[in-house]
Amino acid sequence: MVSSSTMQETVETQPREGASKDPASLLQKLMTESQNEASQGFDTKSAIEIARIINHEDSKIAAAVKKAIPEIAQVIDQVARSLRDGGRLIYIGAGSSGRIAALDSSECPPTYSTAPGQVQYIMAGGPKALASAVEVNEDSEELGQRDIARRRPTRKDVVVGLSASGRTPYVVAAVAYARARGAFTAAVTCNQGTPLAEAANIAIVAEVGPEVVSGSTRMKAGSAQKMVLNMITTGAMTRLGYVYENLMVNVHMQNSKLVERGIGILMRACKIDRETAVQTIKSAGRSVPVALVMLKARVDKPEAVRRLAKSDGNVRLAIEDNVLEL
């Protein structure tokens, strides 16, 4: 429970921390906070009606994200360049946005064999906030600056701030801090003309409109943010050559499911039987990219490793033995 003193402090500081020249940007005026006409009388609906209303509203998300594709593409290329040059992708968010950032970040190592530090997340309230609400932290500009400062952002890095409202003080301050230190910054939000968009180099705006349950931005807004992050990391990893055709060839084979996935990928990519795939993966040191280059380029393991090192891990370029160009 929030204490009366904390509540009073929040009310008193809200206009300052959500600073904007346009009064319409205050929380209660945001599109994501307005009432949805499609869900009027929602609490009187049957289960099937509730599901249909939510599904109908969810069908609008992809169209909203589609409008932001040019900006998403720019961020994809920037992230690819940054990771290739030894930089990092750092997400920062609070509440649902922070949890979505944590999910996308944590799934990159098993999917693309990235080093844990390459794609990171910062969550208002720290890791404990992933499971327990610590939403009061999102009102602090000072904490946002402190948390991003600990990562020491540089011009090599890309920092992406997530906030459905686009006015979360913690996120806005962190993005502004990172930009001031040379990092390329992007905003992912669901409202136009927000402080977060102003703080970042580029804004990705997916206007999904009012939520079925007013203000519950874990719904359409959360889904839109997840879609955007999927596109950013999938696009960047593909541009880096960690995908061959449409196959997840950089899979990290740490468990039986991922081992089977790696075997299946090699079988499909090279049109070989299972036994050949298993033996090649073993001789490649349990590396699908090495095995793929060996088979496609008809080279031995040392040559495949050399080619992958030369191409910065780009599988297609390693097969063709070309110089990496992004």
Query: Quick one: 263 and 158 in the same domain?
Result: no
The Cα 220–Cα 227 span in angstroms is 11
Q: What is the mean pLDDT of residues 41-46?
A: 85
The enclosing domain of 217 has a CATH number of: 3.40.50.10490
**Per-residue confidence (pLDDT) for residue 81, from 0 to 100:** 97
Q: Does one domain contain both 37 and 173?
A: yes
308 domain residue, yes or no: yes
Query: Rounded CA gap, 104 and 96, in Å?
Result: 13
For residue range 66-86, what is the model confidence (pLDDT) as tens digits? 999 999 999 999 999 999 999
Q: Do 187 and 203 contact (CB within 8 A), yes or no?
A: yes
Domain that holds residue 23: 10-239
Which two structure tokens, joined as six digits, stand for 9? 């402090």
**Catalytic pick from 17, 138, 207, 211?**
138
Considering the domain architecture, whether residues 198 and 309 belong to the same structural domain is answered as no
- 70 shares its domain with 202: yes
Q: Which amino acid is at 307?
A: R
Catalytic residue among 9, 107, 135, 198: 107
| DSSP state letters, 219-243 | THHHHHHHHHHHHHHHHHHHHTT-S
Q: Which of 239, 273, 307 is the last residue of a domain?
A: 239
**303 part of the active site:** no
Q: CA-to-CA distance for 31 and 153, rounded, in angstroms? A: 32
Specify if 59 maps to a domain: yes
Residue 36 and residue 174 in one domain:
yes
Count of CB atoms situated within 10 Å of the CB of 20: 15
Regarding whether 260 and 183 lie in a shared domain, the answer is no
User: Above 50 in pLDDT, residue 325?
Assistant: no
Domain endpoint, select from 239, 269, 302? 239
What is the average pLDDT score of the chain?
Answer: 87
Residues 62 and 95 in one domain: yes
pLDDT tens digit sequence for 94-109: 999 999 999 999 999 9
End-to-end distance of the chain based on CA atoms, in angstroms?
Answer: 51
Residues 182 and 293 in one domain: no
Indicate whether 147 and 185 sit together in one domain: yes
Known active-site residue 275 = no
Distances (CA, A) of 4 to 16, 83, 101, 287: 20, 46, 31, 57
Residue 244 forms part of a structural domain? no
Convert the pLDDT of each residue in 186-226 to its tens digit: 999 999 999 999 999 999 999 999 888 888 889 999 999 99
> Structure tokens of 43?
């609490």
Cα 39 from Cα 10, distance rounded (Å): 30
**pTM of the entire predicted model:** 0.85
Spatial separation of the C-alpha atoms in residues 216 and 247, rounded to whole Å: 36
Alpha carbons 133 and 114: distance in angstroms, whole number? 29
**Domain contains 250:** no
Domain end point (choices 211, 239, 267): 239
Cα 317 from Cα 92, distance rounded (Å): 33
Pair 263, 217 in one domain: no
Could you tell me the CATH number of the domain that includes residue 313?
A: 1.10.8.1080
Residues 215 and 292 reside in one and the same domain: no
Residue type (1 letter), 149: A
Residues β-bridged to residue 247: 244
Domain count, the chain: 2
Residue 325 in domain: no
Does residue 245 sit within a domain? no
Say if 312 falls within a structural domain: yes
Residues 185 and 313 in one domain: no
- Highest mean predicted confidence (pLDDT) among 26-40, 127-141, 274-288: 274-288
